[in-house]
Structure 1
Amino acid sequence: MPDIHDLYEVDAGRPAGADAPTPDRNVAARLAGLAREQLWWDRPAYLDDAGTWTHGELHDWAARAATVLIGRGVRPGDRVLLALPDRAEWVGCFLAVARLGAVVVPVNPALTVHEHSTLVADCRPVAVIADGPAADHFDPAALVGPAQLDRLARAATPAPAHPVDDRTPLYIQYTSGTTGQPKGAVHRHADFLHYHRAVGEAMLRLRPEDVSFSVSKLFFAYGLGNSLVYPLHSGSAAVLTAPRPGPARIAELVRRHRVTVLHAVPSAYANLVAEVTDPEPFRSVRVAVSAGEPLAPTLGEQATALLGAPVLDELGSTEIGGACCANRLDDNQPGTIGRPLPGYELRVCDDSGRPLDGPVEGELWVRGPTLLTGYLHRPEETARVLVDGWLRTGDRVTRLPDGRYRHGGRLDDLELVGGITMSPVEVERLLLTHPLVREAGVAAVPDDRGATKLRAYVVCAVDQATVPGLADELIGLVRSRLATYKVPRSVEFVAALPRTPTGKLRRFVLRRGLQRPA
């Protein structure tokens, strides 16, 4: 059997235009060819709410759907916005747009009309593929309904792949907007193979027999890799479901499809541990992955015990496109984000961008083959984060003596308390060690006099009213372990923490004073 890399060799260090564009460098054609070469054509690729699609059915449908999109005026370089719930057609539409040399813009279909309008104004798509409530948010003249696309595709002839080179734009993915307006990160046709080499191969050792399930959706960078890139490069299958699954639904899907690889964010694992006590549905799981936020060691231990499989913490970003640093099956140290993945170099820098030697804390800078080419229409923002081939991630990390890294949260997560800068992540991790705490968020909140005080927002695993004195107990826990200025002055029990659709904490909302009582 030929090696996957023999079928498509990429040298991201070549200057743009070093090779003439060719159809076989188009990611849609390359993945279809890979499925044929590796004899995956008739293997299951997607298990969604409507049934099963094989790899061959997916690639054939995508090639025919591309012909339909040509008829709708889509040309190479055009942008096509994709606002669908997770299902096999989502992947087929992505590959259809890619086949034409056009650029996919995946977005969350659950955004408001204002949020969708803002993204449309930024990326200016020539077509929008959407259905359900999201379809009403877009210009009818640009709208392509997936039902109509499917009907026409089944009668169409397959479109040939448009020639591209390694640097041809493939998709634009918007950042999650944890600190403000989302920005569109531009990625290339060559990037997918590098994502798979780093995670699918080196980290997870995926094989055709695997079945993956990602709680994070396809429109998110984490979900795109989990449910599109790795399955199509490994010949394996992925489970897709349109609604956001709760703990009971996750357990049901894992049991029904005998999922072997589970991907989720820490808040999803926290809910799973709190609400599912029977480990039986997870007997098929051989490995799980956590990303999006730091995974507290206590939560990692609890999730590992429930799943009966290691939970590997990884760090990536929309700007990188995938993960750059992670624990692995053969090298897992809970409480860390592991070591750099193949193809990526990591630096720890001070505030001025000067590299720091030895075990040290600072900002993480990354260099590798998949860094964004830039933010769409934002040259100043691009110049700020891309410096001499390195990406300033905005993540605070500690390089440990053994070469592993520990994630300390985002630089913009730092709080100023009594004139001292501190990391709320440290406090949150400690609060999460309490058996009654499911989630915790800490922020500096102004009191009625305008003075900034540290407040902890806690989601309890039980009704806190049944545990008198719990707030004092949590404050005492922090006081016993951390410096006085890191101790929250108050605890507010809430039903849920404010999060992005991808599961990241919106700390700036906490700073305003969250009013969502439990």
Structure 2
Amino acid sequence: MSPTTRELIVRGARQHTGRVAVLFGDQEMTFGEVDELSNRFAHALAREGAGHHGRVGLLVNNSLLSVPLDFACVKGGVNRVPLNSRLSVAEHVTMLTDTRCELVVFGADLADRARELAAAMPGVTFLGLETGLDGEPSLMERAKSVPPTLPEVEVGSDDVILTLFTSGTTGTLKAAQHTQASYAGICRNVLLNLFPATDEDVMLHAASLIHASGVFVLPLWLRGGRTVILPGFAPEPFLKAITRYGATAVNLVPTMIQMLVENPDFETADVSTLRRIIYGASPMPRPVIERAMRVWGRERFWQYYGQTEIPLCIAVLRPEDHTGDRLAACGQLVAEIDLRLLGEDGREVPSGEPGEIVVRGPSAAAGYFDAPELTADTFRDGWVHTRDVGVLDGDGFLFLKDRTSDMIISGGYNVYPREVEDVLLEHPAVREAAVVGTPDERWVEAVTAVVVLAEGAVPDDGLREVLVAHVTGKVASYKKPRKIVFSDAIPKTAVGKLDRKSLRARFSGGE
């Protein structure tokens, strides 16, 4: 049996006790301090009824206490349910109700939201991390009167320690469940395939730790590296933080990289310590990555492809492969992941043909919370059906076509939106693009492109004709946009992915 997540946390604390583990602004905590505080948090949560197998909602933004709080849940065998603070009250109520959380820990900056939720959910206990509601003692205050020792909990490898709502675009709210074993598998996956962290590494986190960025905390912890946490992302302070903390690694989504390359300080920022720029979560516009590599160096860039259901890496595009047509790939398969490409008949497709990506590995989730039909459809005989469509080339590079749910059927032909988006993004007048199918009497679905223009471009019919001609020159004629809509912005999900679902609803009158 492989070590559990809890065992990895204990091991890291024992091996690196006196070293600085976590920094937030001018505040810092050593491995020993994080270890002790997380033990105290675990005991305090148990006293409030959130012990082994309990479910706790976490309504917290990035802070110095993010890591101790997460580790406390793991040590106590608690199933934590992170809540993205950008979502609405109604969405939070649905998530907490669906997962049947009886306790929510909230950050001081989210006290107003916690008060709204408490009024809507009188049966749920709301416990402030540093500041309580209505004079109630906070978790920090309660932690002072409990033991600093590791909770005596008999955790099992199949205990669920994380229920994470996905940002999928199918319209179904899904909460993937990761266990003590699968989350430890994610740690090994990162160390083996993407980031072999050492005690000299300093990783800078600006994205929310409840998503992919948080996955890197445990690998750094285990190897004695430092985790530097920012409250959020903005280009100028992020660039300054790289210099200030001597960051050696960062994790970004493509939207963040685009914001960085457009910032006037991008080309002059001191990033001499930076060795690894890890990115993923959504498609990367080719002009953006090419400019980023031109300024910061190709040798720094690592792309990963994965899903909430099987993080973090299914495939990795290494720096030396960031060239030519391979920039359109998401990489080669990682060491411990098996992959098949299946056709609509459930059989493997011939080499070079597109098929649904189906994978298995030790980092796979245990299924979805309280959704047996959805679980049975996605997790079959040990394989995770990703609903992504991909193609493997002769060198084993995986190219994504699109989500099966996003595919457009126009005039009887299949059109993958991402392929059209990538071509549009090659044109200098296009800053962002999203392609969806919209109802059409002749074509059933018309390929429709929503385009955000680069500065100085004029949104007129002439440019529409130019863009259609540009696409037609690169792909089959049936894939060209039948409609082009200029927009100031493209809607995105809470983690920065194109929200094609909301665009389809807008054009079909579903909003």
So what's the TM-score if we normalise by structure 2? 0.89
Q: Does 1:282 align with 2:275?
A: no
| Equivalent residue for 1:105, pick from 81, 95, 98 | 81
Give 1:135's aligned residue: 114
* Aligned AA (1:273): V
Give 1:35's aligned residue: 13
1:255 match: secondary structure: helix
Cα distance, 1:260 vs. partner?
1.6
Give 1:196's aligned residue: 187
| Equivalent residue for 1:234, pick from 223, 226, 229 | 223
1:369-518 correspondence to structure 2 within 5 Å: 369-446=362-439, 452-465=445-458, 469-513=462-506
- Distance change (3 Å), C-alpha of 1:463 and 1:330: closer
1:166-205 correspondence to structure 2 within 5 Å: 166-205=157-196
Cα distance, 1:268 vs. partner?
1.9
CA deviation profile, 1:276-313 (whole Å, cap 9, x unmatched): 44242433221212211222443322222233343222
Task: Provide the rounded CA distance (Å) in 2 between the counterparts of 1:60 and 1:109.
Answer: 27
Decide whether the 8 Å contact of 1:45 with 1:52 is kept in 2. yes
Decide which moves more: 329-338 or 154-163. 329-338
Equivalent residues, number: 488
Task: Provide the rounded CA distance (Å) in 2 between the counterparts of 1:257 and 1:166.
Answer: 36
- Distance change (3 Å), C-alpha of 1:485 and 1:329: closer
Decide whether the 8 Å contact of 2:160 with 2:177 is kept in 1. yes
Cα distance, 1:50 vs. partner?
5.5
Cα distance, 1:331 vs. partner?
5.9
Q: Does 1:126 align with 2:64?
A: no
Cα distance, 1:334 vs. partner?
2.8
Decide whether the 8 Å contact of 1:186 with 1:376 is kept in 2. yes
Cα distance, 1:125 vs. partner?
1.3
Cα distance, 1:375 vs. partner?
0.8
| Equivalent residue for 1:146, pick from 112, 118, 129 | 129
Give 2:292's aligned residue: 303
- Distance change (3 Å), C-alpha of 1:216 and 1:505: same
Decide whether the 8 Å contact of 1:303 with 1:311 is kept in 2. no
Decide whether the 8 Å contact of 1:192 with 1:229 is kept in 2. no
CA deviation profile, 1:192-251 (whole Å, cap 9, x unmatched): 33222222333222212112224431222x12213x2322222212222233x1322322
Cα distance, 1:254 vs. partner?
2.1
- Distance change (3 Å), C-alpha of 1:423 and 1:184: same
* Aligned AA (1:283): S
- Distance change (3 Å), C-alpha of 1:472 and 1:270: farther
Cα distance, 1:26 vs. partner?
5.3
- Distance change (3 Å), C-alpha of 1:54 and 1:329: farther
1:57 match: secondary structure: helix
Give 1:334's aligned residue: 327
| Equivalent residue for 1:209, pick from 200, 208, 214 | 200
Task: Provide the rounded CA distance (Å) in 2 between the counterparts of 1:331 and 1:429.
Answer: 18
Give 2:135's aligned residue: none
Decide whether the 8 Å contact of 1:81 with 1:105 is kept in 2. yes
Computed over aligned residues only, the root mean square deviation of the Cα atoms, in angstroms, reads 2.4
1:321 match: secondary structure: strand
Gaps of at least 5 residues in structure 2 are: 131-137
Task: Provide the rounded CA distance (Å) in 2 between the counterparts of 1:72 and 1:26.
Answer: 25
Q: Does 1:68 align with 2:44?
A: yes
Cα distance, 1:76 vs. partner?
1.0
CA deviation profile, 1:99-137 (whole Å, cap 9, x unmatched): 111211112122111001101111111211013133122
- Distance change (3 Å), C-alpha of 1:255 and 1:496: farther
Cα distance, 1:178 vs. partner?
2.1
Q: Does 1:263 align with 2:264?
A: no
Cα distance, 1:41 vs. partner?
1.9
Q: Does 1:156 align with 2:132?
A: no
Task: Provide the rounded CA distance (Å) in 2 between the counterparts of 1:198 and 1:331.
Answer: 20
Cα distance, 1:319 vs. partner?
0.8
Task: Provide the rounded CA distance (Å) in 2 between the counterparts of 1:88 and 1:440.
Answer: 37
Gaps of at least 5 residues in structure 1 are: 1-8, 11-24
Decide whether the 8 Å contact of 1:255 with 1:281 is kept in 2. yes
Task: Provide the rounded CA distance (Å) in 2 between the counterparts of 1:66 and 1:479.
Answer: 59
Cα distance, 1:151 vs. partner?
2.5
- Distance change (3 Å), C-alpha of 1:203 and 1:359: same
Give 1:15's aligned residue: none
So what's the TM-score if we normalise by structure 1? 0.88
Cα distance, 1:447 vs. partner?
6.4
- Distance change (3 Å), C-alpha of 1:60 and 1:84: same
2:18 match: secondary structure: coil
CA deviation profile, 1:66-119 (whole Å, cap 9, x unmatched): 121122122211111111001231221111122111211112122111001101
Identical columns (%): 28
Decide whether the 8 Å contact of 1:498 with 1:506 is kept in 2. yes
Task: Provide the rounded CA distance (Å) in 2 between the counterparts of 1:358 and 1:419.
Answer: 24
Decide whether the 8 Å contact of 1:77 with 1:102 is kept in 2. yes
Task: Provide the rounded CA distance (Å) in 2 between the counterparts of 1:432 and 1:249.
Answer: 28
1:471 match: secondary structure: helix
Task: Provide the rounded CA distance (Å) in 2 between the counterparts of 1:465 and 1:59.
Answer: 57
- Distance change (3 Å), C-alpha of 1:200 and 1:254: same
Q: Does 1:92 align with 2:71?
A: no
Decide whether the 8 Å contact of 2:251 with 2:279 is kept in 1. yes
CA deviation profile, 1:466-489 (whole Å, cap 9, x unmatched): 999433322221122122221113
Task: Provide the rounded CA distance (Å) in 2 between the counterparts of 1:199 and 1:57.
Answer: 25
Cα distance, 1:61 vs. partner?
0.7
Give 1:362's aligned residue: 355
Task: Provide the rounded CA distance (Å) in 2 between the counterparts of 1:120 and 1:61.
Answer: 26
Task: Provide the rounded CA distance (Å) in 1 between the counterparts of 2:360 and 2:490.
Answer: 33
Decide which moves more: 302-311 or 495-504. 302-311
- Distance change (3 Å), C-alpha of 1:374 and 1:310: same
1:216 match: secondary structure: coil
Cα distance, 1:450 vs. partner?
9.9
Task: Provide the rounded CA distance (Å) in 2 between the counterparts of 1:149 and 1:378.
Answer: 32
Give 1:17's aligned residue: none
Task: Provide the rounded CA distance (Å) in 2 between the counterparts of 1:351 and 1:88.
Answer: 48
Decide which moves more: 234-243 or 423-432. 234-243
1:176 match: secondary structure: coil
